[in-house]
Amino acid sequence: RSEDSLDIDRWNLECDFNNTDHRTDLNGVDRLIVRRGQPFTISLYLRSASYQPGVSSLDCVAETGPQPSEQYGTRAVFGLSANINTSRWSAAVTSPPGDMVALSICSAPDAPIGRYTLTLGRSARIEFILLFNPWCAADAVYMDNEQSLAEYVLSQDGIIFRGTHKYPIKSPWNFGQFEHGILDICLRILDMNPKYMKNPGKDCSGRRNPIYVARLLSAMVNCNDDQGVLLGNWSGNYGGGVSPLFWKGSQDILRNWDAQTCQPVRYGQCWVFAAVACTVFRALGIPCRVVTNYLSAHDNNGNLVIERYVDENGKEIAKEMIWNYHCWVESWMTRPDLKPEFNGWQASDPTPQEKSEGVYCCGPIPLKAIKEGELTLKYDAPFVFAEVNADFITFEKKKDGSTSKVIHDIHIGQMISTKSVGSDAREDITHLYKYPEGSAEEREAFKKANHQTKLLKQRQNQGLHLTIKVSSEMRKGCDFDVFAVVSNATQSNKKCRLYFGSCGVSYNGTVGENCGFKDLLNVELSPGQERKVPLRLNYSKYCGVVTAENIIRLRALLLDYTTNETILSMRHIVLDNPEIKIRVLGEPKENRKLAAEITLQNPLPEPLENCCFSIEGANLTGGCVISERLASSVGPGQEAKVKIYFTPTRCGLRKLVVDFDSSKLCHVKGYRNVIIGK
C-alpha cells in the first residue's frame, strides 16, 4: 500500500564501506562500485514516519542501458524481503525500527555488468557501477583461490615474456586497471562496440555473460572493424605514432583513445594488444593473464601446416608465418555452452590476424579444447590449435626452379609462459595447451584434430647432424662468436657444403639485412668426426641491421654432396641490453615524495645522443609517465644518470617501471619492486 511506502528524505551510499567490502576501493570511494551477487548496504533517512517491519514497503527498480527491459534482464523490479536472497535481485532492511533505515541490496549473480540506476520508492534515485564478481560462487567468473585472485584481478602490474624460447626476456608492464578514470574508459569501450550501436538493449543484456564480453573485447582492443583502441603496425616505420616498444603500461593508451574521441592509438603489436586487453578484463572483474607462446604459427589457410621456402643459402624467399613469440590473454570463466570439463582458462587474442564470423577477433576457446584437439568447439579452436601445434615444412628452391624438401627439426608452440602468482618468476603452462611430445595422448589429440601431417611424421635420424651453438655472453655493443657444429654419425666419409649466415629479424619473423656469413664449399668429415665452425659477429656490421628488439637470426645450411640432402638449422639470439640500475632514495611511504636514482652504462663503442629516462607505476606516479631528458650525450663506457621524483598514493608492493631511450639504444626497460609503507 502506498501509504506504507517509505518516505525517503536523503541517503548515504556508504561508498567507503561498500567499495572496500566489494574490493573495488582501489577505484576510489567517491562513488558506489559493487560486484554482482554480493549484498551492499546503504543508509536511508526518512522524511516522515518510521520503518515498521512487516508493514513498511519499498518499490525498487534497477536498470542498466538505454533500453532497460525485464525480458532482456536489464531491468529488475523487486520489493522488501525478510532476508536477502543472493540468487536474484533483492532488498532487506537490516536495522531496527526508526527513522534511519539500513537497506541491504543484492544484485543477481548473473546480472549484466555496467552503469545502473536504482530507483527507491517515489523520490530516491541512486547510481552505481556493477562488475563481475570472481569472489561469488554463483558468478560465472568465480575463482576459488585468494592468491590467484590477488594476481589475476587485483594486481595492477605484471611481467610479459618476450625474447626467444631459449632466452625469455621479462618485460614489466603497468596494467593500472584501478587508476583514476580507467574503469570509465573500459565501460566506454563496451559502449563503442558495433553490436551496441546496432541494438543497445540486446548488447547490454549480453553483458551478463563473460563469454560475450571476452569475445567483444578481443574485437574492440584492435581497431580493424570498429572504433577500437589500438592500430597494429609491424612495418618498422612508426610515423604518425610511436613504436610499440615505447609503451610501459595500458593507462596512456586507454587515456589517449578516450581523449581522441575513440580514434585508434598508434601503434600496437601483440604484447601491447594483450596487455591492454588484460587491463580491461581485470577492470571489469574477470580474472585474466597475459601468456606468451614461443615459436607461434600463423596458419592462414587452416591446413595446420606452415610451408617455408628458402634459397640455396637458407634465406627465406617468402615471409614465413612463424613468430618468435606471440602474446594473447587467458580469462577465467565457466562455459555453460559446453561440457563442464571446458570450464576454466579460455584463450582469446586481440591481435588482428584472421577474421572470425566476419570480424577481427579470436576466442574465447577453452585451453582444454586445444589440448584435446576438439576443433569444432567455440570459438576459433583451429586457429589457436595451429598456433601451438602446426607442422612446419621447409623446401629449398634451387636456381633452376626445382624444389626439394629440407631436413629441419623445429617444434611449434614451445615454452608457453605467464607470470607466476605472487612472484615475477616465469610459470610454464605448455601442459595446459598440449600433451608431452610423442605421447599416446598427443597422438589421440592429433587424430581428433585430423592433423594428418603430424601423425605421418617419422623422426628423421639422418647420419649428418647440424646444430648452432652460441657464446654465453652476447651483449649489444660487443663482438662475439657463434658456432655451427657439424657431426658425421655415418660409417663413411662425407663431403659437404656449409653456408652459415646471420641477419636481423623482427619478433614476427620479418627478415632484415645480412650481418655476416661464411660459405664453405669443401667441409670434409670422417666417420664419427665433429667440426665446430665459428662465425664472428661484429658490432660494426650488426648495429645497423638489428631492430630495437635486438634479435639476430642465425642459419646454417648443410648440403651432403653424396646424397644431395639438405639440412637446415636455425636459431635466434637476443643481444643483452645494459642493465638499468634503480635506487629509491628515502623511506617509501604513502603520500611522501620519493626520488628514484636511475643509471645505465653505455655499452656501445659510440656516444648515445638524445637520452631520456621515464618512469611509470600504478599508485606511484599519479597515473602519469614522468620523464627526464639528459642535457648532453653519453660517451662509450660512461654512465647516464638521473634523479626522478614521484609521490606514492597507496601502500603495498608496487612496480616502478623504467624506460631508457636514446639514438642507438631504444626503449631499454627495467623495473624495481618497491614496498610502500603507511
- CB atoms inside a 10 Å sphere around CB 524: 11
**Whole-angstrom Cα Rg for the chain:** 29
Query: What pTM value is reported for the model?
Result: 0.95
Pair type for strands 652-661 and 668-676: antiparallel
Does the pLDDT at position 454 exceed 70? Answer: no
Active site residue 270: yes
Distance CA 411, CA 399 (A): 29
Domain 146-454: which topology?
Coagulation Factor XIII; Chain A, domain 2 (3.90.260)
Catalytic residue among 326, 408, 451, 572: 326
Helix (H/G/I), strand (E/B), else coil: 283: helix
The DSSP bridge partners found for residue 612 are 629, 661
Backbone angles phi, psi at 360, to 5 degrees: -75, 90
pLDDT higher than threshold 70 for residue 428: yes
* Distance separating alpha carbons of residues 111 and 208, to the nearest angstrom: 5
- Asked if residue 1 has pLDDT above 50, the reply is no
Q: Give the pLDDT confidence of 175-203 residue by residue, as tens digits.
A: 999 999 999 999 999 999 999 999 999 99
Residue type, 338: L
DSSP-derived secondary structure letter, 342: G
% of the chain exceeding 70 in pLDDT:
97
- Contacting residues for 402 by C-beta, under 8 A, at least 6 apart: none
610: cell is: 638524445
**Annotated active-site residue in 270, 362, 496, 503:** 270
Rounded to whole angstroms, what are the CA distances from 233 to 238, 280, 322, 465? 7, 21, 17, 39
pLDDT of residue 452: 66
The string over 580-591, giving b where at least 16 C-beta atoms fall within 10 Å of a residue's C-beta and e elsewhere, is bebebeeebeee
Q: Is the pLDDT of residue 215 over 60?
A: yes
Kindly compute the dihedral angle of the four CA atoms of residues 83, 84, 85, 88, in this order, to the nearest 10 degrees. Answer: 140
Binding-site members are 389, 391, 437, 442
Q: Helix (H) and strand (E) counts for the chain?
A: 14, 36
Say if residues 617 and 654 touch (Cβ distance below 8 Å): yes
524 in Cβ contact with 561 (< 8 Å): no
The second-level CATH assignment, the architecture, of 458-574 is Sandwich (2.60)
Where are the chain's structural domains? 8-131, 146-454, 458-574, 580-676
The fold for domain 580-676 equals Immunoglobulin-like (2.60.40)
146-454 and 580-676 in the same fold: no
- The pLDDT confidence band at residue 310, using thresholds 50, 70 and 90, is confident
Examine the residue annotation and report whether 408 is marked as an active-site residue of this protein: no
Q: What SS3 state is found at 662?
A: coil
What's the rounded Cα separation, in Å, for the pair 76 and 90?
9
Confidence of residue 460 (pLDDT cuts 50, 70, 90): low
Tell which CATH architecture fits domain 8-131: Sandwich (2.60)
Cβ–Cβ < 8 Å for 325, 507: yes
User: Residue 485: what pLDDT?
Assistant: 97
349 tagged catalytic: yes
Query: What would the pLDDT profile of 231-266 be if each residue is shown by its tens digit?
Result: 999 998 999 999 999 999 999 999 999 999 999 999
pLDDT tens-digit readout, 7-18? 999 999 999 999
The percent of the chain in helix, strand and coil, each rounded to the nearest 5, is 20, 40, 45
Looking at residue 311, its pLDDT comes to: 85
- In the prediction, which pLDDT does 459 show? 52
Q: What pLDDT score was predicted for residue 403?
A: 85
At residue 391, the pLDDT reads 83
Give the mean pLDDT of 294-304.
Answer: 83
What is the per-residue pLDDT for 316?
80
Q: Which residue is catalytic, options 258, 349, 380, 659?
A: 349
Encode pLDDT of 362-420 as tens digits.
Answer: 999 999 999 999 999 999 999 999 999 988 888 888 888 888 888 877 789 999 999 99
Interval 324-346: pLDDT, tens: 999 999 999 999 999 999 999 99
Mean pLDDT of 463-476: 93
- Tell me what pLDDT residue 446 has: 85
Quick check: 300 pLDDT over 80? no
